[in-house]
């Protein structure tokens, strides 16, 4: 059952994100929701100028096919004292939603960011 009216669902547990491969969160059923508020929390970083570009994606067919809905704010060398929080609000079009970083981590000297992502659905 989808979470509604301000309750959140964690789609990415706090973890260190590294490497240049695509990163995809767990999908979330957002059927009948009108809006999603996405919150990305960064609690640690390493390397030189670590950066990640997340996309908000939706699926009209229950998760078989995904389409980029919009670009999420790029997170580049964030201040993590105590925690950097970036949030955005989207109008939902689809049955499922998720976050995806198609390129993975960018930067030099083994960049990494420790991040958690929550999605709040609203009717």
Query: Both tokens of residue 88?
Result: 């955005």
pLDDT in tens, the chain (123 residues): 344 455 568 888 899 998 888 899 999 888 888 888 888 889 899 988 899 999 999 999 999 999 999 888 788 888 887 778 888 888 877 889 999 998 888 888 888 999 999 888 887
pLDDT at residue number 7: 56
pLDDT at residue number 18: 87
The model carries a pTM of 0.85
Q: Show the domains of the chain with their CATH numbers.
A: 8-122 (2.60.120.1110)
Query: Both tokens of residue 63?
Result: 């998760």
- Beta bridge partners, 10, equal 118
What proportions of the chain, in percent to the nearest 5, are helix, strand and coil?
Answer: 0, 60, 40
């Amino acid at each position: 059952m989808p979470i509604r009216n301000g309750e959140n669902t964690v789609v990415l547990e706090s973890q260190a994100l590294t490497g240049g491969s695509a990163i995809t969160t767990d999908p979330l059923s957002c059927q009948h929701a009108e809006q999603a508020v996405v919150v990305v929390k960064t609690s640690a970083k390493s390397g030189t100028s670590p950066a990640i570009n997340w996309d908000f994606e939706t699926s009209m067919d229950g998760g078989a096919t995904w389409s980029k809905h919009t670009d999420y704010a790029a997170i580049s060398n964030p201040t993590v004292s105590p925690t950097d929080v970036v949030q955005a609000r989207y109008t939902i079009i689809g049955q499922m939603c998720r976050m995806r970083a198609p390129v993975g981590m960018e930067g030099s000297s083994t960049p990494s960011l420790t991040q958690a992502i929550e999605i709040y659905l609203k009717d």
